[in-house]
Structure formats: C-alpha cells, structure tokens
Amino acid sequence: MRDLTQLVVSVAKQSHLIEQALSEETDLPVSQIRLLLGMNEHSVNLQQLKDILALDISTLSRQLAPLVKHGEVAVLTTNDKRQRQYRLTDTGLAHHQQLWHRLEQLQASWTEDWSTTDIESLAKLLQRLLKNMKTSDI
C-alpha cells in the first residue's frame, strides 16, 4: 500500500512540474492556468468555481481579477452582485483550448506505446481512486 501512496505523491509532484512548465510556456501564473482550464464556454459563478478548483471565494476573486483585467474572462453582472457570472472571452477560450491541446499532446507522448485497453483501464482505476479520495475524510 505504501508503494501506491508513493506513486500518488510522485504523480502529484509531476503534475506540479507540468503546471510550472505550462506557466513558463504561456507566461501565465499557475493559478490563472488552473482557472482557464477549469472554465469552458459556459458561464459559471464563484460557487461553481470554488467547487471545481477547491479554493475559497476570496482567493478565487483575487485570481480572477487579472484574467478579467487582461480580457480573458468577462464578468456578467446580474441584479444581485453575489450571483455574478464569469465567462471566458474569445481570447480566454482560445487560451483554454491551447492549454487543453498542450495537455493532450503531453498525454499522447506519455502513452504512445500503450494499448487502448491499457489507457482505458488506467482511466477507470484513476476515476475510482479519485471518487474514493473525494468521499474520504482527510
């Protein structure tokens, strides 16, 4: 069991290194990359982003501000400011798609000698692990 834990920690470390490399490639902070990847063409509110990214509202607001300022994210206001909606602009959506494309390229290079069955098996096991991680007490 300890080997599995070490693997999970190693994967988390590699994920962090990948985020840093993407940050250097795009000149965006990791926090903004996570926001761009967490959003899509649909509008979201802060509560939805909080759930997607596991961040508190004040941190999200602080991280969204530069994306709004640089035209990556548009703020859609309603009568109730607490229910503000955020949506990727065309520029933000283009960056979102570029980031996902880059991640898909990386995945393809990591699994180029894997069978479809291997990839599907890993995905199924990781989904199961993630589900259990989300429902367990930390």
What is the structure's pLDDT at 84?
87
What is the structure's pLDDT at 104?
96
What is the structure's pLDDT at 37?
94
Domains of the chain: 2-135 (1.10.10.10)
- DSSP string for 65-77: HHHHHTTSEEEE-
Neighbouring C-beta atoms of residue 31, cutoff 10 Å: 19
Residues 65-121 have pLDDT tens digits of 999 999 999 999 877 766 789 999 999 999 999 999 999 999 999 999 999 999 999
**CA distance linking residue 11 with residue 87, whole number of Å:** 31
Residues listed for the chain: 138
What is the structure's pLDDT at 136?
84
Q: Which two tokens stand for residue 29?
A: 């902070």
Segment 32-51 shows an average pLDDT of 92
The C-alpha angle with vertex 93 and arms to 87 and 97, in degrees rounded to 5, equals 140
